[in-house]
Amino acid sequence: KPKQNLQELLHSSERVQIAIGYIRRKIDRRITVADLARACSVSPPALFRYFSDTLKTTPQKFIMQLKMEHAAALLRSSEMSLADIAEATGFANQFHFSRCFKKCYGATPSSYRNSAIWDFSSY
């Protein structure tokens, strides 16, 4: 039985890695669990199980996490407008993007960008 569990975990991990690659390639688009499941050649319930087993989260939460990490990196490293960052991370509009970003980081995208914490030039 432990061998079967190890095989299941390895299979889960492999499918999750495929899903992560898909998310990274399509970060600028709206991504559904059905899209991910198709990319991994599994059913949506199986994909939920794989994410739960390996990452302890849902596919939707993980998609949002990667989108927010990408948006934060763009805010720190570019002069892109908020509308352009929203588009680059697959949000329908900058207002929805801003609400999600604030929920994730506790700050608006503008205040995050303007925060002195990212200004390393004074060190």
C-beta atoms surrounding 97 within 10 Å: 23
Q: What is the pLDDT of residue 7?
A: 62
In single-letter form, the type of residue at position 9 comes to L
pLDDT in tens, the chain (123 residues): 444 465 666 667 888 999 999 999 999 999 999 999 999 999 999 999 989 988 899 999 999 999 999 999 999 999 999 999 999 999 999 999 999 999 999 999 999 999 855 555 544
C-beta atoms surrounding 116 within 10 Å: 7
Instruction: Give per-residue pLDDT as tens, 62-87.
Output: 999 999 999 999 999 999 999 999 99
What are the Cα distances from residue 123, in Å, to 4, 31, 65, 117, 118? Answer: 53, 40, 30, 11, 11
Q: What is the pLDDT of residue 116?
A: 54
